[in-house]
Structure 1
Amino acid sequence: MRRLFLIALLSVAPSLAQAQCGGSWSAFLTDIRAELRAAGLSAREVDGFLAGARQDPKVLRADRAQGVFQKNFLDFAGAVISQNRMVNGARNAKRYAATFDRIERDYGVSRGVLLAFWALETDYGAVQGDFNTRNALLTLAHDCRRPELFRPQVIAAAELYRRGDFDPQRTTGAWAGEIGQVQMLPDDILRNGVDGDGDGHVRLKASASDALMSGAKMLRDLGWRPGEAWMQEIILPASLDWAKTGLETELSTSEWVAMGVKAREGTLARGMRGSVLLPMGRKGPAFMAYPNFRILFEWNKSFVYVTSAAYFATRLEGAARVQSGAPDRGLSPAQIKLLQTKLAKMGYDVGKIDGILGAKTRPAVQAAQMRLGLPADGWPTKSLLDRL
């Protein structure tokens, strides 16, 4: 049936892309009803799924207010990686050891990575969100910011309902429609949901085994390379060419070693390629980011979130606390927004002008630093802003 559902979903994809956002809520629900029927749900199933559906203004407020990602790496990581989460991580690693053993055998995903996301997403299942998932998805599908992302998620949630794994009235989660202990969207659950505890259902809210197995399968399907490292703290020579740092440059570890790059603990992974990651510039923490690190951006697009989660995963597997260094003072969100505006006018692609030093703004900063003859470490300062 999953195959038939996906075929049906593909058949209505053009209408998903062409459907207009906004407008009358009742007209929107009429369109959704037609799409659900085209996807293979019966009239009775559609009625059951949409019964009592309403817009949720709190979802839109949350969507517009994601200021947490404006923090720098040390502040964000310091806020989310608590001693309590470290202790509970060790406790859960022991409690679900059999599940993690199976995950590492079947999918090659390290337990530290899954523990880190489990902690950051829901505090190991304790805080899964109280937004009605059906209403959140419908609200975001009706909204004009990202309807092309959320209309298919509505269809996927309806299919989960048809299978008996989603209650439109009672299923709750994050404001953006993610469900369960590792916060997965309905389509991700359809594609990668795993019955980890063997009860015949995929229930990511109640079952930690289901959630962890499903998260691991999703990472593997996204391209996770089994058994490989994702991040490692490094020590850099003062003579390093800073223009070679950043995720846009990937070299073999032997090439980095030849330039004087060393692992803080142990050695760099042999036979692999990686990028030197400087989340707060050349005077702050430094990491070697391996190919698996890039896969984590498919879970969450935020640079500071992904970097913090990857670092947290290394800590959960025994790595020492990061050396914070003495990074130059960064910019405020308002200053970063001004910086993005200036860079965009100069022709650089900074992505959205939002006051967040994200994955697109950083290489733009680095390019501008190179143009001005400054150390090109991708970390913007007041002096760079003034020079621009």
Structure 2
Amino acid sequence: MRRFLIAAALIAAPLTALADVPCGGSFSKFVQGLRTEAIAAGIAPNTAKAFFAGVKQDPAVLRADRKQGVFQIPFVDFSRRLISNDRINRGRANGKKYDAIFDRIEKTYGVDRGVLLAFWAFETDYGSFQGDFNTANALVTLAHDCRRPDLFRPQVLAAVELFAQGGFDPKSTTGAWAGEIGMVQMLPRDILENGVDGDGDGQVSLKTSAPDALMSGGKMLHHLGWRAGEPWLDEVSVPQDFDWSLTGLDVQKSTAEWRALGVTARNGDLANGLTASLLLPQGRGGPAFIAYPNFRVYFDWNQSFTYVMTAAYFATRLQGAKVFDAGNPEPGLEGGQMKQLQTKLQSRGYDVGDIDGILGAKTRTAVRREQARLGLAVDGWPTPALLGKL
């Protein structure tokens, strides 16, 4: 579930905005156009011909792209589903097993081991299942599909470059339905830019070498802006009389300011000298977290707020944090109700993205504005009461 896998449901752009990116039409002619573009970019004609020779459209990829209901599940339930004692124990065991590699990652890229262990767990269950979709077919299918051709066409060309370098076989390379490859699920362009030979065998083997995959993931996070030596998330307690309009990623304050407002860490203390946002994934009655600048880097890995919250929280657990206090959040909306809410918000002029039943960033922003208009607690958590008032 690397970053672009979720982007399908959350940041799909209208076709008119992508008119300059070829897509659709005859699949064979589309592939011919890709081959021509690859050659124009410097790929040898015979190499381009060999790459695209057996490429096929994969309907299963399109079905997977349009089916992402798991992200309709609220944070508490989603995190409990993904984080088990077994995953925690295996994560800590892998941390010890690859201790020297994680030391290198922390020294070279400044990325904490818990962060990469959490991604490794969620993406492929520590490498045990890396996806069985033919990667070339998946990428070309998604590039041909007119939902996000600007996203996937460059990944096809990057895969051709990997093939030219000897690091990709279009017939046998497999991975996730959205084209990610290896233990931490990286797209071809990310591999070209951030692939690292972590085990010293002269090759970058993200499917079979944990050192290669982990080092590459660390380099990619560093490239995306990860700040060495800084935390990413802390669970906090918040006063009951708090001004809930101060919550959300749009509001940033110094940790000193948050302390002055009565926000306290449940484990240890808030980091000094950093700005942060106060996040309530299930409203004022549920768990609360302070998110530091590194937290925002997660959204370059994955666009789903629920996934990002869960991955960031799991990383803290792997490094010794306690189980979060689930609190007593108000009941939220089921998938159908969430779609009703998004439809109502859209009719009021809000941009909520796709009507997909997923509480994404745009929907949360619209919810907060309507909560303020209606005199409700502005915590970004949509409830049946809010839906009724709309």
Give the TM-score band, short-chain normalised: over 0.9
Report if aligned partners of 1:17, 1:148 keep a CA contact under 8 Å in 2. no
Q: Which moved more, 1:306-315 or 1:45-54?
A: 45-54
Amino acid in the other structure paired with 2:250 = E
1:195-245 CA-partner distances (Å, limit 9, x unpaired): 111111111111111111111111111111111000000000011100000
- Is structure 2 residue 59 aligned with structure 1 residue 57? yes
Amino acid in the other structure paired with 1:69 = F
Amino acid in the other structure paired with 1:126 = S
User: TM-score w.r.t. structure 2 length?
Assistant: 0.94
The equivalent of 2:44 in structure 1 is 42
The equivalent of 2:106 in structure 1 is 104
Q: Which moved more, 1:91-100 or 1:42-51?
A: 42-51
The equivalent of 2:235 in structure 1 is 233
Q: Which moved more, 1:192-201 or 1:300-309?
A: 192-201
User: TM-score w.r.t. structure 1 length?
Assistant: 0.95
- Cα distance between partner residues in 1 of 2:311 and 2:21: 36
Identity %: 64
Report if aligned partners of 1:197, 1:210 keep a CA contact under 8 Å in 2. yes
SS of the residue corresponding to residue 288 of structure 1 reads: strand
In structure 1, stretches of 5+ residues that fail to align are: 1-15
After superposition, residues 333-372 of structure 1 pair within 5 angstroms as: 333-372=335-374
1:123-179 CA-partner distances (Å, limit 9, x unpaired): 001110000000100110111111111111000001001111111111000000000
User: Which of 42, 57, 79 is 1:77 aligned to?
Assistant: 79
The equivalent of 2:308 in structure 1 is 306
SS of the residue corresponding to residue 324 of structure 1 reads: coil
- Is structure 2 residue 299 aligned with structure 1 residue 297? yes
Q: Residue 364 of structure 1: CA displacement? A: 1.3
- Cα distance between partner residues in 2 of 1:148 and 1:19: 6
The equivalent of 1:94 in structure 2 is 96
The equivalent of 2:267 in structure 1 is 265
SS of the residue corresponding to residue 268 of structure 1 reads: coil
Amino acid in the other structure paired with 1:170 = S
The equivalent of 2:196 in structure 1 is 194
Amino acid in the other structure paired with 1:345 = S
Q: Residue 345 of structure 1: CA displacement? A: 1.9
Amino acid in the other structure paired with 1:295 = V
- Cα distance between partner residues in 2 of 1:215 and 1:17: 33
Q: Which moved more, 1:19-28 or 1:56-65?
A: 19-28
- Is structure 2 residue 256 aligned with structure 1 residue 254? yes
After superposition, residues 122-271 of structure 1 pair within 5 angstroms as: 122-271=124-273
- Cα distance between partner residues in 1 of 2:242 and 2:350: 25
RMSD, aligned CA: 1.0
1:308-333 CA-partner distances (Å, limit 9, x unpaired): 00000000000011110000000011
- Cα distance between partner residues in 2 of 1:18 and 1:273: 39
Q: Residue 351 of structure 1: CA displacement? A: 2.2
SS of the residue corresponding to residue 234 of structure 1 reads: strand
Amino acid in the other structure paired with 1:219 = L
Amino acid in the other structure paired with 1:122 = T
SS of the residue corresponding to residue 348 of structure 1 reads: coil
Amino acid in the other structure paired with 2:24 = G
Stretches of 4+ aligned residues off by more than 3 angstroms: none
- Cα distance between partner residues in 1 of 2:89 and 2:261: 38
SS of the residue corresponding to residue 18 of structure 1 reads: coil
Q: Residue 337 of structure 1: CA displacement? A: 1.0
Q: Residue 350 of structure 1: CA displacement? A: 1.8
- Cα distance between partner residues in 1 of 2:217 and 2:361: 23
- Is structure 2 residue 128 aligned with structure 1 residue 116? no
Report if aligned partners of 1:230, 1:290 keep a CA contact under 8 Å in 2. yes
The equivalent of 2:5 in structure 1 is none
1:70-118 CA-partner distances (Å, limit 9, x unpaired): 1000111011111111111011000110110011001111100000000
Structure 1 pair 270/332, CA: closer, same or farther in 2 (3 Å)? same
Q: Which moved more, 1:134-143 or 1:39-48?
A: 39-48
The equivalent of 1:22 in structure 2 is 24
In structure 2, stretches of 5+ residues that fail to align are: 1-17
1:28-78 CA-partner distances (Å, limit 9, x unpaired): 111011011011111211122112111111000000101111100011101
- Cα distance between partner residues in 2 of 1:244 and 1:19: 40
- Cα distance between partner residues in 2 of 1:176 and 1:345: 32
Higher relative contact order (CA closer than 8 Å, sequence separation 6+) = 2
Structure 1 pair 210/45, CA: closer, same or farther in 2 (3 Å)? same
1:317-359 CA-partner distances (Å, limit 9, x unpaired): 0001111000000001111111111112222222222110011
